[in-house]
Amino acid sequence: MARVSLAAPVSAVAGGKTAKALRDGLGIETVDDLLRHYPRRYIDPGELTDLDSLQVGEHVTVLAEVVSASNRRMQQRKGTVTEVVVSDGRGRISLVFFNQPWRVEREFRVGRRGLFAGTVSAYGGTRQLAHPRHVMIPDAGLHLVDESGDADRDREAEAAFSDLLIPIYPATAGLPSWRIQQTVRLVLDSLADVEDPLPPALRMEKGLLGLDDALRGIHRPPDRDAIEAARRRLRFEEAFDLQVVLAQRRHERLAQAATPRPRSAEGLLAEFDSRTPYALTSAQERVGAEISSDLSGTHPMQRLLQGDVGSGKTLVALRAMLQVVDAGAQAALLAPTEVLAQQHLRTIRGLLGPLAESGLLGSSDMGTRVAYVSGSQSARQRREELAAIASGEAGIVVGTHALLEDTVAFADLGLVVVDEQHRFGVEQRAALAGRGPADTRPHVLVMTATPIPRTVAMTVFGDLDVSVIDEYPPGRGRIATHVVAPREHPAHLVRAWDRVREEVDAGRRVFVVCPRIGDDSAAVSSDEIEADPESSADESPLSSVVDVTRSLADRWLSGLRVGMLHGRMPAEDKDEAMRRFTLSSDDPAALDVLVSTTVIEVGVDVPEASMMVILDAERFGISQLHQLRGRIARGGGDGLCLLVTAAEPGSPARERLAAVAATTDGFALARVDLEARREGDILGTAQSGKRSSLRLLEVIRDEALVEEARQAAQAIVADDPTLTRHAALRERVRMLAADDRSEFLEKG
Ligand code: ADP
Ligand code: MG
């Protein structure tokens, strides 16, 4: 038989129907795709599947034994129903077939075993598989002859049960696991020598199987130990391939040129530092030095600045921008939302004071103009700002996505700061980075308040350098967080509103956060709510900003000044609401309480805000809750955060809230959060698709392995950047990088 290579199409081996089902159902086209479609688990033919563990709605493949089988006429319609009860020795499940009465005699004799595949449904209180695909173990006495005269099925049955451990593959309704198993066997039987992309020396050092052995081991293991050895090799390879791609990217970046923007002894930065009333924290100092040194380099900085909410990232970013402005260039700050961009603009102008008033009467003579670009400004305003940006008069430019448009031309863009990276793709980062002067690229600083465990950072942001602010500025209050469950203790919610009143009476501000906007229930924009699928079945309507604002103003908090803020309000109304919320409380226009969606999640800074009530708190993710409460206790005093929920005690949702209440350590919470999620959610949508390149690797669990793979990859790329001496690896990496599989690298 002709040998097939990994690159060959599956159709070189499998029949046309199977090849089509593999492609349409599982996205498998090549021999390589098929061999990388690993079994989910293995069944020992002597062991029956635990039927009690099957969940309704799940697509399953089970090995079970026939307990009874009977035909009966249907009452409503013409025809027969065949009901077969199968068992694992304890639990039972029924199989239902329509109009195939012959199966009882031919296939489902009591005591026979078979594999059954289908979607579990519930019917009259019992679980069943309707019309499951199945193969029966050929029994010795009676030679299996399928009455349909289908010789293929005989071969399928024999193939399925001749393995020592039956591999169970992720399958589809049209393509049962055993059909995949059979196709894999055909492929393995005719597979040409495979070239191993892992360098032999590395394989030896790590004690890993060769690729051919690993592929055979994972698909047709002689025993459980063989599966483990195969998985170890393949898992390492996944981490390694990815790290090679990242190491190469880093290498390419270091080959690019950037204009150095070194720090000058005199200028805006020095002036700013001398005017700033407080001292930098030592973390700000350290991180600032790292950035400053990067900016002085001849290669573009690509640095991720990680720091929990309130750790003082803005100040660090501003100082970097000033260094660049002093060097005669411009710095752009990109924010994910209009509210945030506005806030950054106010903060930066506030921090700079007269230094932000270049050219104005009475301004400092070294100041620079801070320009603003957003989608919602008037054409005239925009023209003015664009002119200041193009002429170089504006040293600092703050804006939203609108900054990425082609119409925005910089005189000399030296630094791009991206706030809250997780809302921007790398494509967008790249779009701005492409705005530098000819042949050079601007330096890039990405800020995020989402604490990312090291291993995820290494995987998702592996081509960036990372700086971490692990210290809060002095004077930040402690935040006490409590879960309030009105279903169990109705009085607690009443008490919560009383507390709000007490805070306001003491001159402080309160946030109330709701998962919905209201009025038009369907129209909640996806970036404003991170719905929790577990609790979506909850029958109670969700609190909405509109309704809650009304009932608080009319009833629970009557007499207080209650305003609202959400993403569907016009930009100027949003801005106005924020402005009023920051006014001193003796100002007649001030707001005491702001009811909002998660638009306040990031960055919003109101020092007097001391309390936050989050309604339907179970609707928010752990990190999101942590971000939200980071909006309070920023002015020195302590804060109180109440998580109001109807989630049942002991439910996963309730446990999450308890975790948030138990600690204010953002990193610890990020871990809890990530562990609870599926890998795909962490690495971005591309990774949860069926063509994910990470199949066995779990970046959280496999932390040590990712680290090892990273070191190995960096050593190899440092030594041989274009992989000239590693042809097979070069080919594999090229394939991964070309494929949409590496897309998650771009998504962050
Ligand atoms: P982040 O952006 O990391 O969430 P911010 O930059 O908004 O944090 O800083 C939070 C608050 O701490 C702001 O009010 C800021 O003015 C203040 N702050 C920042 N650095 C210092 C410092 N070194 N000393 C005192 N206050 C600081
Ligand atoms: Mg901030």
| 567-582 mean pLDDT | 87
How is residue 215 annotated by DSSP? H
Kindly give the distance from the C-alpha atom of residue 273 to the centroid of ligand 1, in angstroms, as a whole number. Answer: 14
Q: How confident is the model at residue 526 (pLDDT cuts 50, 70, 90)?
A: very low
Kindly give the distance from the C-alpha atom of residue 715 to the centroid of ligand 1, in angstroms, as a whole number. Answer: 39
**pLDDT at 141 > cutoff 50:** no
Q: How confident is the model at residue 689 (pLDDT cuts 50, 70, 90)?
A: very low
Choose one of 314, 321, 344 to mutate for the ligand 1 pocket test, by most ligand atoms within 8 angstroms of C-beta.
314
**pLDDT at 529 > cutoff 50:** no
Pairing verdict, β 166-168 and 41-43: antiparallel
Kindly give the distance from the C-alpha atom of residue 480 to the centroid of ligand 2, in angstroms, as a whole number. Answer: 21
Structure tokens at 413: 């863009």
CA angle 39, 40, 46 (to 5 degrees): 85
Beta bridge partners of 303: 445, 465
**pLDDT at 360 > cutoff 60:** no
Contacts of 723 (CB under 8 A, 6+ apart): 244, 248, 716, 717, 729, 730, 733
Percentage of the residues of the chain whose pLDDT score is greater than 90:
44
Q: Which atom of ligand 1 is nearest to the CA of 279?
A: 23
Q: Which atom of ligand 1 is nearest to the CA of 280?
A: 23
**Residue 314 CA: which ligand is closest?**
1
Is the dihedral angle over the CA atoms 563, 569, 572, 575 positive or is it negative? positive
Q: What is the pLDDT of residues 304-341, one digit of tens each?
A: 898 887 788 999 999 999 999 999 999 999 988 787 88
- Cα–Cα distance list, 638 to 333, 594, 722 (Å): 31, 19, 55
Q: Which atom of ligand 1 is nearest to the CA of 313?
A: 3
Ligand 1 pocket, CB under 6 A:
278, 280-281, 284, 307, 309-315, 449, 473, 605, 634
Q: Which atom of ligand 1 is nearest to the CA of 311?
A: 3
Contacts of 634 (CB under 8 A, 6+ apart): 310, 476, 477, 605, 606, 607, 609
Radius of gyration for the chain, computed over Cα atoms and rounded to the nearest angstrom: 31
- Region for 516 from its dihedrals, namely left if φ exceeds 0, alpha if ψ lies in -120 to 50, beta otherwise: beta
Pairing verdict, β 330-334 and 394-399: parallel
pTM surpassing 0.75?
no
Kindly give the distance from the C-alpha atom of residue 177 to the centroid of ligand 2, in angstroms, as a whole number. Answer: 50
- Provide the pLDDT for residue 159: 66
Residue nearest to atom 26 of ligand 1 (CA): 473
Listed by start position, the domains of the chain span 41-168, 224-256+689-746, 268-296+311-448, 479-663
Please give the residue that has the higher pLDDT: either 739 or 511.
511
Q: How confident is the model at residue 686 (pLDDT cuts 50, 70, 90)?
A: very low
Kindly give the distance from the C-alpha atom of residue 420 to the centroid of ligand 2, in angstroms, as a whole number. Answer: 8
| 469-475 mean pLDDT | 83
Structure tokens at 668: 């610890």
Query: Could you say which architecture CATH assigns to the domain 268-296+311-448?
Result: 3-Layer(aba) Sandwich (3.40)
Phi, psi of 331 (to 5 degrees): -130, 135
392 three-state secondary structure: coil
Helix axes 224-255, 703-719, angle to 10 degrees: 50
Burial degree of 717 (CB within 10 A; 0-12, 13-18, 19+): buried
Q: How confident is the model at residue 349 (pLDDT cuts 50, 70, 90)?
A: very high
- Provide the pLDDT for residue 696: 65
Q: Which atom of ligand 1 is nearest to the CA of 602?
A: 4
How is residue 464 annotated by DSSP? S
- Check if 41-168 and 268-296+311-448 are the same fold: no
**Residue 340 CA: which ligand is closest?**
2
**Residue 420 CA: which ligand is closest?**
2
Pick the CATH number of 479-663 from 1.10.569.10, 3.30.530.20, 3.90.550.10, 3.40.50.300: 3.40.50.300
Kindly give the distance from the C-alpha atom of residue 410 to the centroid of ligand 1, in angstroms, as a whole number. Answer: 29
Q: Which atom of ligand 1 is nearest to the CA of 278?
A: 24
Closest C-alpha among 600, 605, 664, 575 to residue 313: 605
Q: How confident is the model at residue 524 (pLDDT cuts 50, 70, 90)?
A: very low
Amino acid (1-letter code) at residue 189:
D
Query: Could you say which architecture CATH assigns to the domain 41-168?
Result: Beta Barrel (2.40)
Kindly give the distance from the C-alpha atom of residue 475 to the centroid of ligand 1, in angstroms, as a whole number. Answer: 10
- Provide the pLDDT for residue 530: 37
Q: What is the pLDDT of residues 158-188, one digit of tens each?
A: 666 777 788 999 888 788 898 899 899 999 9
